[in-house]
């Protein structure tokens, strides 16, 4: 049996009432069970010795061991066999209770302590824990062993058209994690994150502990003058029943003054106790998005006093607001605090490996999003780190949170039971955040890769109903989209539209469409050649493409601009918003982001997607409705400020000079849209037109500015997009490598 100098130095003297938690982040050793006989040989036994390899920190194994963790067939071996982790640590004799807590293990974990099986867990970003006080040894080091696996799936459901088989969307995704094996280069085929990647702690306590977290549910009355705050606090008692005193203090975040409090005696029984309390807030300060109001937050401090024992304290942050998603044949519209919210959103998934994300990176992305006019993110088929949700609470970004269930999955009762449990865990761990305004239970289930209508099987329909029931039970305060993309279902009601990008045709093809809520649209664009200079494999594969990056950035600019303005000029008639796909690339490759993986905007040529955001995605905008000719001039105000009398100016020119210009007054109230004037003029299909628009306040201040270069000619869909892909690198190739 070995014990390292570092382990000796980390030993702490632990008192019953002042115990210090033990951080188990370092000192781990690993080995891969390539023959899969670790359990047969009892590798979990303290006396078992093997050629364990030390690691310097807990992280995804690909980030620790692979030269290039984002692409390459050599990554597949990480998931071919389980990995075993071993840790040795010392404890003192005086702790009355101890909880072993794991904050993130991807994806299946089996845990032993001192040779005793503690249990198993499935997940990747949620907490799980075990009570271990009776198993701790004080006379020699404790041995903690964890078996971790995240296996590949090998069942496929092909779609066929004649003799052609389409493997896209076909893998039966048995893992409940959106961040792997999407099969169409959405996630590179060999990337499947695995490992203990968040902290592991031994938490000492006085026989009473919080089980995972406390939950807060707020209910706002119709007048907005009162909110009921319901607190649910799961507390475990290790020992005989006893009485305790529960106190709850509610304050505005940052204040030291109670605005509400509750105090009562409770009876604790051995095991988990569901403690609860309800408080009333008078004249609550409401949470809203950054473009509609303030981001008021509250803090609840829960205290449990027990005779002859230390006080147990739990602190939770929350906000007060109401949210509604009205769905009918004519609308799919969000309301926050009784007012409609026009969604100017993007999907967000910033890194395949969440351990790479930091508070600074999240703040960088969210600040850039706000500058781009974004007021909402769809967190796409995964959950993010806790810091992300706290920042969105603070900065006023509304979130639509996906479940991990997407595309094709096993049609078995066993899988359905796992899927229901997983969705419940996602909701339970995130529901305290006021920024989350809706859940999505499934994504694109029943999609037809051949372009036919979406069609869910009877078993998939049954699972959708079951997931809705889970969501309503775990969180009755938020709406749920059952299956994103199922436009005609009143349980969903949103659309994904890729005409002109993934789908053939032109972005002008959407001109006659009338969509209620669009949760995906977008166009791929590669990073600049300079950004890719440290990726020789990608640079070589895109050698024919990189000299024409500006062309692809231009296409992203034009498509995003056309889509966003198309939706904006249909504000609430029927369109209630959109989510561009997506804000930033999640790996160092070519993808749909407005920003590349490194946080650089794709702005070559005319300015890329970021220019589209600055012109067409701001709260106040002026837009030219058009296809191959000008149709009408529109102004939109998504803010709650009454802009009063405004002046719209336009100027249209060609290479020969200005051919039309003018101005017109209009009234632009809060959260409104006005069609200022129609155009009835012929244009020359071979001529390039520039249109410049300005929207001025009564005092002459510019409220919005917009420019259309070559306005009435749609840029052709790029050659080779979107059918040519490189599975090895996980990206689209356009025309790369084709013979001229």
Using the predicted structure, report yes or no on whether residue 14 has a pLDDT greater than 60.
no
Using the predicted structure, report yes or no on whether residue 550 has a pLDDT greater than 70.
yes
| Cα separation values, 252 from 25, 316, 440, Å | 34, 12, 30
SS3 call for 121: strand
In this prediction, residue 93 has a pLDDT band, given cuts at 50, 70 and 90, of low
| Cα separation values, 239 from 21, 128, 271, 573, 598, Å | 21, 21, 8, 62, 52
**DSSP H or E run through 659:** strand 657-668
In this prediction, residue 7 has a pLDDT band, given cuts at 50, 70 and 90, of very low
**Which residues lie closer than 8 Å to 64 by C-beta, 6 or more apart?**
55, 56, 57, 195
pLDDT of 728 reads 85
| Tokens matching residue 643 | 């802009």
pLDDT digits (tens, 9 = 90+) for 519-538: 999 999 999 999 998 899 99
**CA-CA distance, 560 to 552, in Å (whole number)?**
12
| Cα separation values, 196 from 28, 86, 427, 708, Å | 10, 11, 22, 50
Question: Phi then psi for 275, rounded to 5 degrees?
Answer: -80, 140
**CA-CA distance, 624 to 321, in Å (whole number)?**
36
pLDDT digits (tens, 9 = 90+) for 96-120: 899 999 999 999 999 999 999 999 9
Topology of 5-204 in CATH? Jelly Rolls (2.60.120)
Using the predicted structure, report yes or no on whether residue 427 has a pLDDT greater than 50.
yes
Question: Phi then psi for 119, rounded to 5 degrees?
Answer: 155, -175
Using the predicted structure, report yes or no on whether residue 356 has a pLDDT greater than 70.
yes
Query: Are the C-beta atoms of 247 and 263 separated by less than 8 Å?
Result: yes
The domain spans of the chain are: 5-204, 208-318, 403-491
Eight-state DSSP code of residue 503? B
Burial call 383-403: b when 16+ CB within 10 Å, e when fewer: bbbeebbbbbbbbbbbbbbbb
Using the predicted structure, report yes or no on whether residue 15 has a pLDDT greater than 50.
no
Using the predicted structure, report yes or no on whether residue 181 has a pLDDT greater than 80.
no
Say how far residue 675 (Cα) sits from the centre of its chain: 35
Eight-state DSSP code of residue 306? -
pLDDT digits (tens, 9 = 90+) for 267-284: 999 999 999 999 999 999
Tell the residue number behind the tokens 């990480």, with chain if given: 78
pLDDT of 6 reads 36
**DSSP H or E run through 436:** strand 436-443
| Tokens matching residue 152 | 């590949």
In this prediction, residue 623 has a pLDDT band, given cuts at 50, 70 and 90, of very high
Using the predicted structure, report yes or no on whether residue 4 has a pLDDT greater than 90.
no
| Tokens matching residue 658 | 């200005």
**CA-CA distance, 1 to 8, in Å (whole number)?**
14
Using the predicted structure, report yes or no on whether residue 5 has a pLDDT greater than 70.
no
Q: Whats the size of the chain, residue-wise?
A: 740
Q: Report the first-to-last Cα separation within the chain, whole angstroms.
A: 67
In this prediction, residue 154 has a pLDDT band, given cuts at 50, 70 and 90, of confident
Mean pLDDT of the chain, nearest integer: 92
**CA-CA distance, 557 to 226, in Å (whole number)?**
46
Question: Phi then psi for 663, rounded to 5 degrees?
Answer: -145, 160
pLDDT of 416 reads 96
- Residue range 340-361: mean pLDDT, rounded: 97
In this prediction, residue 449 has a pLDDT band, given cuts at 50, 70 and 90, of low
Q: Which of 343, 398, 632 is nearest to 516 (CA)?
A: 343
For the entire predicted model, the pTM comes to 0.94
In this prediction, residue 739 has a pLDDT band, given cuts at 50, 70 and 90, of low
| Tokens matching residue 322 | 């109401």
Using the predicted structure, report yes or no on whether residue 95 has a pLDDT greater than 80.
no
**Which residues lie closer than 8 Å to 95 by C-beta, 6 or more apart?**
14, 16, 19, 133, 136, 204, 205
Say how far residue 18 (Cα) sits from the centre of its chain: 38
pLDDT digits (tens, 9 = 90+) for 467-514: 999 999 999 999 999 999 999 899 999 999 999 999 999 999 999 999
Using the predicted structure, report yes or no on whether residue 452 has a pLDDT greater than 90.
no
Q: What CATH class is the domain 208-318?
A: mainly beta
- Residue range 376-395: mean pLDDT, rounded: 97
Using the predicted structure, report yes or no on whether residue 567 has a pLDDT greater than 80.
yes
| Cα separation values, 366 from 159, 375, 381, 429, 568, Å | 39, 10, 19, 22, 22
Query: Are the C-beta atoms of 732 and 725 separated by less than 8 Å?
Result: yes
Query: Are the C-beta atoms of 323 and 479 separated by less than 8 Å?
Result: yes
Using the predicted structure, report yes or no on whether residue 391 has a pLDDT greater than 90.
yes
pLDDT of 454 reads 74
**Which residues lie closer than 8 Å to 372 by C-beta, 6 or more apart?**
594, 610, 613, 614, 617
**CA-CA distance, 174 to 176, in Å (whole number)?**
6
pLDDT digits (tens, 9 = 90+) for 692-714: 999 999 999 999 999 999 999 99
Question: Phi then psi for 106, rounded to 5 degrees?
Answer: -115, 110
Tell the residue number behind the tokens 């002859």, with chain if given: 308
- Residue range 529-555: mean pLDDT, rounded: 93
Q: Which residues pair with 706 in a beta bridge?
A: 693
**CA-CA distance, 455 to 433, in Å (whole number)?**
33
| Tokens matching residue 78 | 């990480």
Task: Please give the order of strands across the beta sheet that includes 128-131.
Answer: 22-23, 200-205, 97-102, 128-131
Query: Mapped to the 3 state alphabet, what secondary structure does 524-562 carry?
Result: CECCCCCCCCCCHHHHHHCCCCHHHHHHHHHHHHHHHHH
């Amino acid at each position: 049996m070995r014990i390292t100098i570092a382990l000796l130095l980390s030993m702490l003297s632990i008192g019953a009432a002042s115990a210090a938690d033990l951080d188990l982040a370092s000192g781990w050793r690993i080995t891969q069970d390539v023959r899969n006989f670790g359990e047969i040989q009892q590798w979990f036994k303290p006396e078992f010795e093997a050629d364990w390899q030390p690691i310097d920190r807990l992280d995804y194994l690909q980030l620790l061991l692979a030269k290039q963790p984002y692409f390459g067939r050599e990554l597949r071996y990480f998931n071919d066999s389980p990995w075993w982790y071993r840790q040795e640590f010392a404890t003192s004799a005086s702790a009355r209770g101890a909880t072993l807590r794991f904050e993130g293990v991807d994806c299946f974990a089996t845990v032993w302590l001192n040779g005793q099986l503690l249990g198993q867990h499935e997940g990747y970003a949620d907490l799980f824990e075990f009570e271990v006080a009776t198993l701790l040894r004080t006379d020699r080091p404790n041995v903690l062993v964890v078996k971790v696996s995240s296996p590949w799936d090998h069942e496929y459901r092909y779609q066929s058209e004649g003799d052609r088989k389409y493997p896209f969307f076909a893998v039966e995704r048995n893992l409940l994690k959106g961040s792997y094996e999407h099969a169409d280069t959405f996630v590179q085929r060999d990337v499947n994150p695995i490992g203990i990647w968040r902290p592991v702690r031994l938490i000492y306590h006085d026989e009473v502990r919080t089980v995972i977290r406390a939950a807060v549910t707020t209910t706002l009355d119709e007048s907005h003058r009162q909110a009921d705050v319901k607190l649910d606090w799961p507390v475990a008692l290790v020992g005989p029943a006893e009485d305790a005193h529960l106190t709850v203090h509610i304050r505005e975040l940052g204040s030291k003054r109670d605005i509400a409090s509750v105090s009562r005696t409770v009876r604790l029984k051995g095991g988990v106790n569901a403690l609860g309390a309800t408080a009333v807030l008078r004249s609550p300060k409401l949470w809203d998005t950054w473009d509609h109001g303030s981001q008021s937050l509250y803090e609840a401090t829960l205290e449990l006093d027990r005779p002859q024992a230390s006080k147990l304290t739990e602190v939770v942050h929350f906000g007060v607001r109401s949210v509604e998603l009205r769905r009918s044949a004519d609308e799919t519209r969000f309301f926050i605090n009784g007012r409609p919210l026009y969604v100017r959103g993007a999907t967000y998934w910033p890194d395949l490996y969440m351990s790479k994300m930091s508070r600074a990176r999240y703040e960088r992305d969210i600040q850039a999003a706000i500058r781009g006019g974004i007021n909402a993110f769809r967190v796409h088929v995964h959950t993010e780190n806790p810091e992300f949700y706290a920042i969105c609470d603070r900065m006023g970004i509304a979130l639509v949170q996906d479940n991990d269930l997407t595309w094709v999955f096993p049609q078995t009762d066993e899988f359905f039971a796992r899927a229901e449990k997983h969705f419940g865990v996602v909701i339970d761990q995130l529901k305290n955040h006021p920024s989350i305004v809706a859940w999505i239970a499934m994504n694109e289930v029943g999609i037809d890769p051949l372009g036919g209508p979406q069609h869910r099987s009877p078993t998939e329909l049954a699972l959708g109903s079951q997931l809705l029931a889970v969501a309503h039970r775990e969180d009755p305060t938020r709406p749920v989209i059952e299956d994103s993309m199922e436009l005609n279902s009143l349980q969903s009601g949103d659309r994904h539209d890729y005409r002109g990008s993934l789908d053939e045709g032109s972005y002008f093809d959407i001109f006659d469409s009338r969509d209620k809520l669009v949760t995906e649209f977008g166009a791929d664009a590669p990073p600049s050649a300079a950004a890719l200079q440290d990726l020789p494999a990608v640079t070589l594969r895109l050698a024919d493409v990189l000299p024409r990056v500006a062309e692809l950035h231009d296409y992203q600019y034009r498509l995003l601009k056309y889509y966003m303005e198309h939706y904006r000029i249909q504000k609430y008639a029927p369109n209630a918003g959109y989510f561009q796909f997506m804000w930033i690339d999640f790996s160092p490759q070519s993808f749909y982001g407005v920003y590349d993986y490194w946080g650089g905007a794709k702005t070559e040529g005319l300015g890329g997607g970021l220019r589209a955001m600055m012109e067409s995605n701001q709260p106040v905008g002026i837009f030219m409705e058009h296809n191959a000719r000008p149709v009408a001039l529109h102004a939109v105000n998504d803010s709650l400020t009454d802009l009063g009398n405004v002046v719209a100016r336009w100027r249209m020119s060609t290479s020969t000079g200005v051919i039309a210009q003018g101005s017109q007054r209009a009234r632009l109230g809060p959260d409104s849209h006005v069609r200022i004037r129609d155009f009835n003029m012929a244009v020359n299909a071979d001529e390039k037109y520039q249109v410049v628009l300005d929207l001025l306040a009564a005092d002459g201040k510019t409220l919005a500015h917009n420019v259309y270069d070559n306005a009435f000619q749609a840029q052709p869909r790029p050659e080779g997009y979107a059918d040519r892909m490189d599975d090895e690198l996980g990206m689209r190739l356009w025309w790369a490598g084709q013979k001229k």
